[in-house]
Structure 1
Amino acid sequence: MRTRTCWNTVCTVDDLVPESGIAVWTNEGPVAVFYLPHRLPALFAISHADPFSGANVLARGITGDLGGEPIVASPLYKQHFNLKTGACLEDESVRVKTYSVLLDGNRILLETRDTHQEAVAA
């Protein structure tokens, strides 16, 4: 099987709140989309699940900047995750999945794995 990716519309710019995140549903599960209009790029997307608790809460975290890097602090145990790389700043062995995000007019698109994978002959 070959893994393909696809771009899916998950929300619009009107759904976003500056300096914070929203949770959206994808074919891979819940994803946290963050809108930081003072940065370039201004859009980031990571897994919504906090790897320390398993709860879907990262979209509700507090955004900020540490050492010039955009971060979100988990609202549960306060670990910080780099929004570009997904790396946990307190534990280098932990990271959350990041997603490519694209602005198309008013639509926000995320790149996810295609759930319809085709078989490849050997």
Structure 2
Amino acid sequence: IQSLHNNMNPSTCLSLFLTISLIFNSHAITPKSNSNLYKNVCKDAGKDNQRCLKLLSPNPKITSAKDYLTLSKLFLEMAIEKATKGQDYLKTLIKEFPSSHAIKNCATSDYDGLVMSFRSSLGEL
């Protein structure tokens, strides 16, 4: 996952998270029992299929999820963790570039909103 994170800028990674979370939410109400659910979700990601698999396959809880609701919860927990780490990194950049309003806005209000949205989605499941 670290190499995937290093090869993607934060907005690309977050865009992928949002795309996948929408797919998860559309499947969350569908009862199924299948150990490869994450692969089915990644197939629905279309051109981002391989990036989706690289992101999800290292997580044994995600790869062994038996239903879409569990998979959705695990994915959102991972998204919250990664978004929080991304926000922490951007906050360190604020110290390096204190005059950058773009970094400051992204590290504060943008990421605050993103993490809050993921937490809200998790609470709705």
The TM-score range, normalised by the shorter chain, is under 0.3
Greater fraction of residues in strand: 1
Greater fraction of residues in helix: 2
TM-score normalised per structure 1: 0.24
Q: Higher relative contact order at CA 8 Å, sep ≥6: structure 1 or structure 2?
A: 1
